[in-house]
Amino acid sequence: MGLVLAIVSLVLLLMQVLLIARAVLDWTVALAGPTAYGSVRSRLLAGAHAVTEPVLAPVRRVLPPLRLGGMAIDLSFIVVFLAIVIIRSLIG
């Protein structure tokens, strides 16, 4: 049973890393402008979105982004990230 929990914890850790990578890459688009098609940043962003979107989309349908003037905060990212942190701490 310990091996299964270790694998689950590792998968959750990888998801956390991918979520952080997605956040950083999204901010690079906001700060440096759109990516050129086929660039390394474009491919990394597409990969991060492809892996994390199936997890974030269902939460986003239930919990829409919080609008603050002209800005929106994606609450699904925060909820999923905190859920992973809590699950990993319970696994031990």
Full pLDDT tens readout for the chain, 92 residues: 789 999 999 999 999 999 999 999 888 877 877 777 878 888 888 899 999 999 999 999 999 888 888 888 889 999 999 999 999 999 87
Where are the domains positioned within the chain?
A: 2-91
Q: Cβ contacts of residue 57 below 8 Å, gap of 6+?
A: 76
Report the pLDDT value the prediction gives residue 74, as an integer from 0 to 100. 85
| Tokens read off for 38 | 């086929």
Q: What angle do CA 51, 70, 68 make, to 5 degrees?
A: 80
Report the pLDDT value the prediction gives residue 54, as an integer from 0 to 100. 94
Report the pLDDT value the prediction gives residue 37, as an integer from 0 to 100. 83
